[in-house]
Chain A
Amino acid sequence: MKGWKHVIAITSLVVSTSVLALATAIGGLGYILPTPGVRDLAYWYLVTVLSPSNKLFTAMSPEAVTSIVWDYRGLDTLFETSVFFLAIIGSIALMRGIKIVPERLRNYSSGMSPIVKTVTRITAGMIIAVAASIALHGHLTPGGGFQGGATAAVAPLLLMVVFSIYFIIKSGITEERMLALRTAGLVGIVFTAFSACIIAASLGTQAYVFQNQPKSTAAVGLPASIMGSLTSGTLIFFNLFEFFAVAAGFTIVFLLLSIPENIVKQALRGVESEH
């Protein structure tokens, strides 16, 4: 019986792979790869992404990917951010009640050698600077809030490895603070999504949720450039808040993963003995 299950699993996988490959070969994607053109939808995005003469449809950003992520398909990204939020919350819920107690902070081990520590101090600052650059130029060059946040989260991870988890907690990067920063970022994203509505309500007109530039039926929007530099309306604010949310989220995960094993075991044994 067991052997049969194995055979059925392998056969079904081989058949599905072959069918998918055959479908691709005879043009199942709509064309045979590589195609000389793009689909009409993609052409529309490319034509309208930064087009000052086409004011009703443009996103006013030279970066088409960020424009799609936060303007054309902004609602998708909002729900994607909430999936990310729930995954982090799930991780926190799994590790609930397991904490590094404050009396352990007094006599923590000192970490790696002074050479490694000095180099890490310099590189951690550089990592944060590069991450901020990636996030804040997300509407102009490749990058954005997600990429910048994931880069920034490397800095606390590096400090954890080199200095130890106790140093990190002592210097103020705790789970609660990161959760507060993350929530602030998410509140900022929601506020930016409703910013056009708020402006419209104060002017006595109407606007859409997730509206960036003025549309024909809603003539308000955030300015495309501030003092001569291109900010692309809501895109820079979305990138900034997403940067904080993603960086803080990953830092929480790294903090939870680096709790020493004996503390976790002790906490779990405590839970078991209560039953």
Chain B
Amino acid sequence: MSTELDVFLFGIMTYAIIMNLGVSLYGVFRRPSITKKIIALTIFSDSANVLAIIVGYRGWPNPWHSPIPPILLNRHPTPQYISEFAKVAVDPLPQALVLTAVVIGLAVTVFLVFLALQLYRLYGTVDVRKVRRLRG
């Protein structure tokens, strides 16, 4: 496998994720049902998380060789072991950000679900066009 082909395939994957972001934004803006808006919002946040993980990926020593996770296996590492580890491990920062983003996303989704549920119980609809016309 050549490096150009690998970069090309990686490019296709990145574009697919960005297109996914666009489609899910369309769902948030244009779908009238709040349930579908919430589903589109979760797809949006998950696509953003996958994009962040891909930015942190490294192709070492060549792109078709998988790198190791950022966890030391040695409890008492020597400086030489640490420098070898830092040469092959992936970027841990996007993973840490995604970890917190997933939990926040879950909490916000739960809150939105409660809002939609309460809206349905009070007005009998989750269609934003009908909710807009309600008075009082």
- Chain A 234-269 interface mask (CB, 8 Å, partner B; 1/0): 000000000000100100010011000100110010
- Write out the residue numbers on chain A whose beta carbons fall within 8 Å of the beta carbon of B70: 45-46, 49, 63-65
Size class of the contact patch on chain A? 35 or more
Is B56 close to A, CB under 8 A?
Answer: yes
A243 CA to B118 CA in the complex, in Å?
29
- Write out the residue numbers on chain B whose beta carbons fall within 8 Å of the beta carbon of A94: 111, 114-115, 118
Q: In chain B, residues 1-37, which have Cβ atoms closer than 8 Å to a Cβ of chain A?
A: 6-7, 10-11, 14-15, 18-19, 21-22, 25-26, 29-30
Chain B nearest Cβ from A105, distance in angstroms: 23
A6 CA to B32 CA in the complex, in Å?
13
9-residue interface stretch from A50-58, A111-119, A166-174: A50-58
Interface Cβ pair total, 8 Å cutoff:
168
Chain A nearest Cβ from B39, distance in angstroms: 17
Partner of A38, one of B14, B58, B72: B58
Q: For chain B, what secondary structure do more than half of its interface residues adopt (helix, strand, loop), or is it mixed?
A: helix
A249 CA to B111 CA in the complex, in Å?
12
Q: In chain A, residues 1-36, which have Cβ atoms closer than 8 Å to a Cβ of chain B?
A: 6, 9-10, 13-14, 16-17, 20-21, 24-25, 29, 32-36
A51 engages B92 (CB within 8 Å): no
Known: A51-B77, A87-B107. 20 other contacts (CB 8 A): A17-B21, A33-B55, A36-B61, A47-B83, A50-B75, A52-B77, A63-B72, A65-B92, A69-B100, A84-B103, A87-B111, A90-B111, A91-B110, A142-B69, A142-B71, A146-B99, A146-B102, A150-B103, A253-B110, A264-B121
Give A contacts to B, CB under 8 Å. 6, 9-10, 13-14, 16-17, 20-21, 24-25, 29, 32-39, 41-43, 45-47, 49-53, 62-65, 67-69, 73, 76-77, 80, 83-84, 87-88, 90-91, 94-95, 141-142, 144, 146-147, 150, 230, 246, 249, 253, 256-257, 261, 264-265, 268
